[in-house]
Amino acid sequence: MADSHPVIDPGREPTGTGMADGQPLVTDMADSLPGRESAYDRQRLIPGWDQDRLAAATVVVAGVGAVGNEIAKNLALAGVGRLILCDPDTVSVTNLSRTVLFTPDDLHGAKAEVAAEGLRRLVPTLQVEPRIAPLISGVGLGELADATLVVGAVDTIRARMQLLGRCALVGATLIDSGTQPWGGEVRFRPPQPDEPCYACTLTEHQRSHSDLPWSCFEPRDTGPEPASIAAAALIGAWATTAALEFLMGRPPAWRLLSVELSGRTGPVQIRRDPSCPYHHPWTNPPSPLASSAETTVAELLTEFAPEDEPETWTDFPLPLFCRVCGLYPQLADRHDGVTDRDHVRLCARCGALLRSVTSVRLRDAAPDLRLRELGVAPEEILPVRGAQGERRCVRLSRD
């Protein structure tokens, strides 16, 4: 990996630069407030507190619903210099009783964007970047590797496993949180491969559970999930406390904290499962590319040898093709040469059924498409398969 994108040392203390585009962060709200008194003067009185470390930190917050709202708000007010907020969902009316950053005027707005605006009002000096996308296409592996800390507040097993897997690949420190009606849990996962993780506490069947991300607008056969501001605030506070401890260079001793509204809160001992697949980080640093997520496929491919096969982490749709008569309608989301009858796509020439086809091979994609249009995240680290089947990885640039 190039010097500008160092691989995180699994044994390191948090040393994120907290810089965006090479510009140092403002370290205090004093400049934006009347008088000389700093907003952080009282915090600086706490033994062991280091405001400069917070100002230099970059924290990724995955999920900015109820718990994510609390965590993002708390970290911003504490003085964390830069936050990346990632969430694909929009604000619904049921969010309003559990989120301080959302108002009735924000209904149907993108959660990440609305939360970012709310944080800017609270802390004008904060650098905050909203990503309106699922984690895998919203925050690149390179960004996770460079972040001082990643905090998860997602609401499905599938999303938690995806977040864990991506952090484990690049050695990113993860604090994961979840709620239940009368409490919840917070998990601290250091980057060392021998540390137990969320997946270690699941069975093999649970690890492969295919529950889908759920929008607050979508009805469920079982009814809405029970939730309250009390549980969200409590879990958010514990997750924030763990994050601040880590950012101060004194990471939590526990790996799983069980939290109950009844007042019974304490660590739970967990062990690493030898069969858990989430303990194999990359050992070879990725090679830097000049291309970014804004680069077209054609431009990206000029950086590879003809025998190289660069791939994406999620599949993308390919142009439709009639296997019967050879008609080749253009992109899969267009209807040129296609008859749409009762949501079934038929070839306009011969009437044969057209089936959607997907791929992860970037050489299969339309050359004029930009990588972000294929779901590739900023500063993503992409796998590449060589002619003999050997694997390596490459990292997209920021711009």
Q: pLDDT tens digit string along 176-190?
A: 999 999 999 999 999
Question: Is residue 342 predicted with pLDDT exceeding 60?
Answer: no
Owning domain of residue 92: 30-267
Question: Is residue 341 predicted with pLDDT exceeding 50?
Answer: no
8 A C-beta contact, residue 167 and residue 33: no
Indicate the Cα dihedral angle 139, 143, 149, 154, nearest 10°: 10
Pairing type for strands 265-267 and 256-260 reads antiparallel
- Shared domain check, 57 and 105: yes
8 A C-beta contact, residue 395 and residue 142: yes
8 A C-beta contact, residue 380 and residue 142: yes
8 A C-beta contact, residue 163 and residue 62: yes
8 A C-beta contact, residue 361 and residue 311: yes
8 A C-beta contact, residue 83 and residue 127: yes
- 60-73 per-residue burial string, b: 16 or more CB within 10 A, e: under 16: bbbbbbbbbbbbbb
Hey, what are 101's tokens?
């950053």
Compute the distance between CA of residue 126 and CA of residue 81 in angstroms, rounded to an integer.
6
The side-by-side arrangement of strands in the sheet containing 287-288 is 287-288, 391-395, 381-385, 309-317, 358-361
- Shared domain check, 113 and 218: yes
pLDDT at 322: 79
- Shared domain check, 175 and 52: yes
* Residue 1, in any domain of the structure: no
Last residue of a domain, one of 267, 295, 328: 267
* Residue 7, in any domain of the structure: no
Domain with 193 in it: what CATH number?
3.40.50.720
- Shared domain check, 340 and 299: yes
pLDDT at 17: 44
With 0-12 / 13-18 / 19 or more C-beta atoms within 10 angstroms meaning exposed / middle / buried, residue 274 is exposed
Cα-flanking dihedrals φ and ψ of residue 377, to 5°?
Answer: -80, 160
- Shared domain check, 335 and 202: no
Angle subtended at Cα 257 by Cα 251 and Cα 259, rounded to the nearest 5 degrees? 135
* Residue 20, in any domain of the structure: no
Q: What is the pLDDT of residues 119-178, one digit of tens each?
A: 999 999 999 999 999 999 999 999 999 999 999 999 888 899 999 999 999 999 999 999
Q: What is the pLDDT of residues 217-248, one digit of tens each?
A: 444 455 568 999 999 999 999 999 999 999 99
Question: Is residue 379 predicted with pLDDT exceeding 60?
Answer: yes
* Residue 96, in any domain of the structure: yes
- Shared domain check, 263 and 359: no
**Residue of 71, 53, 64, 61 whose CA lies nearest to 16:** 53
- Shared domain check, 233 and 347: no
pLDDT at 344: 61
**Residue of 195, 204, 192 whose CA lies nearest to 272:** 195
Question: Does the model's pTM come out above 0.75?
Answer: yes
Q: Which H or E run contains 237?
A: helix 229-247
Name the band, by pLDDT with cuts 50, 70 and 90, for residue 352.
confident
* Residue 25, in any domain of the structure: no
Compute the distance between CA of residue 175 and CA of residue 152 in angstroms, rounded to an integer.
6
Question: Is residue 61 predicted with pLDDT exceeding 70?
Answer: yes
* Residue 116, in any domain of the structure: yes
Last residue of a domain, one of 214, 235, 267: 267
- Shared domain check, 252 and 109: yes
For the chain, what is the domain count? 2
Q: What is the pLDDT of residues 81-131, one digit of tens each?
A: 999 999 999 999 999 999 999 999 999 999 999 999 999 999 999 999 999
Residue 303 or 206, more confident: 303
- Mean pLDDT, rounded, of the chain: 86
pLDDT at 169: 95
- Shared domain check, 379 and 292: yes
8 A C-beta contact, residue 68 and residue 75: no
- Shared domain check, 164 and 54: yes
- Shared domain check, 199 and 107: yes
Hey, what are 117's tokens?
């605006």
Left (φ > 0), alpha (ψ -120 to 50) or beta: where does 236 sit?
alpha
* Residue 24, in any domain of the structure: no
Question: Is residue 6 predicted with pLDDT exceeding 70?
Answer: no
Which residue has 């003067």 as its token pair?
A: 41
* Residue 292, in any domain of the structure: yes
